[in-house]
Structure 1
Amino acid sequence: MNLKFSVFFLLLSFQLLAQQYKEVKDIQYYENPTSEYMEKQSRLDIHFPDSDNNKKYPVIVWFHGGGLTGGGKEIPQELKNKEVVVVGVGYRLAPKIKAEETIEDATAAIAWVFKNIEKYHGNTEEIFISGHSAGGYLALMVIMNKENLAQYDIEANAVAGLIPFSGHTITHFTIRDQQGIPGTQAIVDKWAPLFYVRNDAPPILLITGDREMEMLGRYEENAYFYRMMKVAGQKEIDLYEMNGYGHNMVYPALPLLLKFVKEKSDQ
């Protein structure tokens, strides 16, 4: 066999051995949707390794941004084909609902993942919660307030890690807006992750854009959350500022998410 054909068959062998991936779309995560809008919006997509063996892979649950008023479920391209299961979550949006009701959807979606992701080769002991902006806020709210997942008999601290991208740590501006509170008036109430500061949370990596380029106060909110968590005694928490990038810092920050998942999964 000449060199040309040898290289061809070698490359073909590598392709056959390479990990294959599948996607399923529009899975309803409520058992009994209570409205047509909930039935339409409360769905998720899954990108997962199509493996014949019994290997289980880390899971990233990703919540899209959009101020709780816009956007749609997504799986960032940079997270695909990376030996992780990725779940892109859709949720209901204001003003069709009260903005705080989005937390109910985010909670239900995470509960669904805990109870079903093994069917898609996901490891329930390595579920990481992430998202950008409003999605980062939802990730923080569901996990920091342990009562959310407790409704589904799930311990919030069973999550392997929490990685919000530029998420609010004070009460979300859309929730404040629906109450007639301006965006420049900071509120920390039961709709704020800061309200639930504690020392036993899962490992956390806070990522924001450059403090001089971010949305109003977003870096400083995260820095204060970081400091209060440290004061409370949280051991595993870090804050990373993406110098030179503004609020739309998702693409350059995704390698940090994958690095965090790999490090925690290898422990």
Structure 2
Amino acid sequence: MRRFYLLFLLLVPMVFVKAQGEQYELVENINYYDTLVESQENYQKERCKLDVYYPKDMTKVPVVVWFHGGGLEGGEKHIPEGLKEKGVLVVTVNYRLHPKVKHPVYIEDAAAAVAWTFKNIDKYNGDKNKIFVTGHSAGGYLASMVGMDKNYLSKYNIDANQIAGLIPFSGHTITHFTIRKERGIPGTQAVIDKYAPLYHVRKDAPPMLLITGNREMEMLGRYEETAYFYRMMKVVGHLDVELMELDGYGHNMVYPAIPLLLNFVKEKSQE
């Protein structure tokens, strides 16, 4: 585990830079489901969309799938400013929200979006062998669940181990508090069941970079549960997992974490 201090973070270079004359294009509101659930048809059509932001003149571009935060109850797809014009392709995803749906629909939507990416990203100059899944808070939780519980992607005949890397930003590793609320469990009562990334620790999972804010500034013990996940991944023999704690930042730590994500993507894309 590494702790990063504010001064260091300000000096971290953005590792992907815009090439001279390189042009980026944004394609918005692509439906990522082939079929609709009749009872959810209108809401599914509204929410289950993604945007693709890609460099037009590059090929085999590393792909970053970004899930927004919002406690599984709010939020909208967006591209974090630090990911624009950095030589990566960004897929940013909306998913259905509580209370209009309940678990595991959020995770199923996230998996459907990742599956769409595997099957279609070559049309946008992306490399399906370099798909990295990430997000902040609830989005980090979804990234971890899609990558750790192989059942969600197997529905689409995709092995979760094909993901090039998982980079959850301050995401639950225990069962998400909104899912606990749906089940009548207090937010202060920790649960580790099949809706917890911790439940699915395994040696052969994709490479992982876990990033949280400072342990004294984070929300709801987020650092500590992430540190336990990190430790258990080590215990089961996973050889490529790292935990970074960002001193000077609490839960809203997306900006300083983006350079770390980009460095990780560059490193793994070159292996």
Q: TM-score range by the shorter chain?
A: over 0.9
TM-score if structure 2 supplies the norm length?
0.91
Equivalences for residues 57-72 of structure 1 within 5 A: 57-72=61-76
Q: Is the 8 A contact 1:68 1:99 kept in 2?
A: no
The offset of 1:99, in angstroms, is 3.6
- State percent identity of aligned pairs: 63
Q: What corresponds to 2:122 in structure 1?
A: 118
Pick from 42, 50, 74 the counterpart of residue 44 of structure 1. 50
Q: Which residue of 1 aligns with 2:205?
A: 201
Q: 2:24 aligned to 21, 43, 65, which one? A: 21
Partner of 1:77: 81
| AA of the residue aligned to 1:50 | K
Could you list the per-position Cα deviations for residues 20-39 of structure 1 after superposition, in whole angstroms to 9, with x for gaps in the alignment? 11000000000122210001
What letter corresponds to residue 110 of structure 2 in structure 1? Answer: A
Q: Amino acid of the residue matched to residue 23 of structure 2?
A: Q
Contact 1:199 1:235 (8 Å CA) reproduced = yes
1:1-267 alignment to 2 at 5 Å? 17-34=20-37, 35-51=41-57, 55-267=59-271
Please give the alpha-carbon distance, in whole angstroms, between the structure 2 residues aligned to 1:90 and 1:148. 17
Q: What amino acid maps onto 2:206 in structure 1? A: P
CA RMSD of aligned residues (A): 1.2
Secondary structure at 1:152's aligned position in 2? coil
Amino acid at match of 2:53: H
Aligned-residue offset at 1:56: 1.0
Equivalent position of 1:9 in the other structure = none
Q: Aligned pairs, how many? A: 251
In the alignment, the residues of structure 1 paired with residue 252 and residue 67 of structure 2 have an alpha-carbon distance, to the nearest angstrom, of 15
SS of residue matched to 1:24: strand
Tell me which residue corresponds to 2:5.
none
- 4+ long deviations beyond 3 Å: none
Structure with higher Rg: it is 1
